[in-house]
Chains A and B, each alone.
Chain A
Amino acid sequence: MSLTGVQGVVRPYGDTTGDGRVQVSFTLPVPFGDEAERARAEGAALQLAGKMGLDPAMVVHAKGMGPDFTFFIVYGRVSHVVDLSAITVAEREFPVLPAAEVNLRIRSALGRKLVVVGACIGTDAHTVGIDAILNVKGHAGEKGLEYYREIRVVNMGAQVGVADLVARAVAEHADAVLVSQVVTQRDAHLSNTREMAAAFHAGFGLQRPLLVVGGPRFDPTAAHDLGVDKIFGRGTTPGEVASYLVHALAPSEGQGGPGGWSPPGEGQGGPGGWSPPGEGGA
């Protein structure tokens, strides 16, 4: 999508329009000891700055760090221009919301806590991923789903059988099931996920909970093929997962359309009842 309203090219702004001035800092593995070494180090920094498009460049600070490294701060004028018309913005299908907003959305849309059952299925004992998403401790500076007041988390841990997972999802009236798969030998992550999805489809039909899978080796676009609703890849934070759950399960008024979900309607079995995902979603 191109940005409308701002067209043309721009340069970085230091103190005058179009001056192109920027500041960068970096470390090179070069010594900064005697005079000759210092001169060589600064020359190395200037060479890098030049290759980065800074011309002219000025090393304003150089400091040796131990015998082998030098830290530099460099100011310079970049020769590059930014073409605003060429910018495309990748659209996420859902906005990432702060925790308070997630809680509020669940309260107003569901009127009860959102129930998440998580597990590592098959022989996978790597609970790192699922724990990073579920444990209060969280991941990448974000607290896990347990931290959210309006989310009730049931973490079944590692090496959970698919039948046990389905049974627990029934017993807990799960709104969503989160499954983590790290081990990928012989594509175990794919076959386990298909098996899990099939069991939920068989056991629940269209009333099934939202199925979310995560792991470092999944193709995030393969959700439909694997029979699940969403796949998260490496580097996913708990906040993204929480926001997705809210997007899918507790839509704000007016939300809907492709990829949106209907809230559980009456007559669908009460809590834990589900509408299927809209086909054709992003």
Chain B
Amino acid sequence: MTGKLNLDPALVAQARELARLAGQPVTDLARTHTTVSVERAVLRLGGLDGADEDGMPWVNRLTDAVRESVGLEHGVALPAWDALLTGGYPDLRTLAVDAGSGLVKFRLPTGADADAARESAARSVRKGLDRIDAQRAERGRMLAATSDPPMPWIYLIVATGDIYEDIPQAQAAAREGADVIAVIRSTGQSLLDYVPEGATREGYAGTYATRENFRLMRGALDDVSRELGRYVRLTNYASGLCMPEIASLAGLERLDMMLNDCMYGIIFRDINPVRTFIDQRFSRQVHARAGIVINTGEDNYLTTADAVDAAHTVVVSQLLNEYFGREAGLADAQLGLGHAFEINPEVPDSFLLELAHAQLIRELFPDAPLKYMPPTKHMTGNVFAGYLLDAFFNLAGVMTDQSILLIGMMTEGIHTPFLSDRDLALENVRYVRRAAGRLGESFRPEPDGFVAQRARQVLGEAIDLLRGIGSQGLLTAIGEGTFGVTRRPADGGRGLDGVVKQAGGYYNPATQMLEVTV
């Protein structure tokens, strides 16, 4: 599958090395800091669930109480499990209730007490990771009992706001051919510094990501997978302020793919860059363990900037996502790097440019399950023209061997898709796959023709951009507006107050176990 574009292997290696150089200082930062959400994820893996009567999760109440009392520099585990043992609490929930009422005096245990706390914390967190391992094994059993659909996987979105409406819609979409169901989150959930609890029936343009919603939807898709003899994957979003916790819940409830981009929250949601990189590393370690395929969000760059001018920023972001992903232990087969079909159809040769970009990415990341996003920006409301554009997107997808095709809707930007919009969209992709599914093997761009030259040009621009980042550092580059159109300084944005520098003796049983597996 390589060699259609005559890419210079030395240049490709140089691009990877530059991405590593840009990312390395950020990784070092992530290794030496923690966040409130990382610590709350430790408690979740340690078995703490549920929320108080106001809906505030107990993991927040307990983490806040520990932070107020002894700080989080040593991690939440040591003081929390010490209080659990010395206070004679039956479980973390009971401890959290008392801690929330200010009844618990936390301390940093030393000597034998510290050993006991660490041992107890490790035992509890181990159980959480055991459950994640068991869910991974269960996915394997389900795949064996049903079947793994061939790529490209057809990826469809449901988003009613009500999990009990989402379920029949998701099952109907699966019966119509969807291989992957994504439940879009309620608008703004990424900015909540807690994970809502329970089954939810109200959301803004999407459904809250909660553990119970995960469990309900996975169960419903298991039913339909057995019915169809084909495993239907479930996707949600590990992004925003609670990335580590949502990743953990996804592992515990056997989600199969998670949106998880290294810079999306920074650029598009104004979440603090440092917070994001720390949270991201932990979440990717969990995803690696859980066998979850991450999906990155490079398509977003092309919705804000011109898809021709900004093509190289997509490649740069993919190289960074690859570096951060591998560093956190993800296999290439778990790197669902994203890109999109967003070139203005009025541009001459726009389809050739799309082919060049898509083929370039295919060759740069030969083992990654690439996720290809349909046109959104140039869907005008002319649903008939939009249907044609979606067909061209599907054609580019099969010609360049993309792995995950998000199915475009002719009514994109008008309303949440009608049942019929989805049905027509699936008819579109089914036709293209049937008619031209094997076109990729006969697609040989002229070595020095338009497509190959354009691909090499984009790679060259990506290397130039990475070189520029290298000399100033990734955080500075983000602060100066290199990605997207906004400047995101390292000391700005939401969630910085949840970042804590680790002290000597910092203890995090989850990280210890997850690092070992890398």
Contacts and interface: CB of A to CB of B under 8 A. Distances in A.
A155 B270 contact: yes
Contacts of B419: 27, 65, 69, 71
Given A135-B270, A136-B304, A137-B268, A71 B423 contact: yes
Contact of B420 (A65, A137, A147): A65
Range for the number of chain B residues in contact with chain A: 20 to 34
A65 B423 CA distance: 7
Interface in B375-403: 376-377
B172 A66 contact: yes
B187 interface: yes
Interface of A: 25-27, 63, 65-66, 69, 71, 126-128, 131-132, 135-137, 139-141, 143, 146-147, 149, 155, 157
A146 B486 contact: yes
Contact of A143 (B304, B413, B424): B304
Given A63-B423, A140-B413, A132 B187 contact: yes
* Most central of B420, B484, B485 by chain A CB within 10 Å: B420
Interface of A is mostly: mixed
22 contacts: A26-B420, A27-B418, A27-B419, A65-B176, A65-B423, A66-B176, A128-B204, A131-B188, A131-B191, A131-B269, A136-B304, A136-B484, A136-B485, A136-B486, A137-B268, A140-B413, A141-B377, A143-B303, A143-B304, A146-B485, A147-B304, A157-B494
Contacts of B376: 141
B175 interface: yes
A155 B191 CA distance: 13
A140 B415 CA distance: 9
Contacts of B188: 126-128, 131-132
A45 to B, nearest CB: 13
Interface in B253-277: 267-270
B332 to A, nearest CB: 29
Interface string B286-303: 000000000000001001
Contact of B268 (A26, A127, A128, A135): A135
A127 to B, nearest CB: 6
A211 to B, nearest CB: 23
A128 B187 contact: yes
A141 B300 CA distance: 12
B269 A137 contact: yes
A235 B25 CA distance: 42
Given A65-B176, A147-B304, A136 B418 contact: no
Contacts of B304: 136, 143, 147
Q: What 8 A-B pairs are tightest by C-beta distance, nearest first?
A: A128-B188, A141-B413, A137-B268, A71-B420, A65-B423, A27-B420, A66-B172, A136-B268
Contact of B485 (A71, A132, A149): A149
Contact of A147 (B172, B269, B270, B485): B485
Contacts of B204: 128
Contacts of B187: 128, 132, 139
Nearest to B427: A63
Contacts of A65: 172, 176, 419-420, 423
Nearest to B192: A125
Given A69-B419, A135-B270, A141-B377, 5 more contacts: A27-B419, A127-B188, A132-B187, A135-B269, A137-B268
A25 B411 CA distance: 13
Nearest to A141: B413
Contacts of A147: 304, 485-486
A65 B422 CA distance: 10
Contacts of A141: 376-377, 412-413
A148 to B, nearest CB: 9
A140 B414 CA distance: 8
A12 to B, nearest CB: 17
* Most central of A63, A65, A127 by chain B CB within 10 Å: A65
Nearest to A157: B494
Nearest to A63: B423
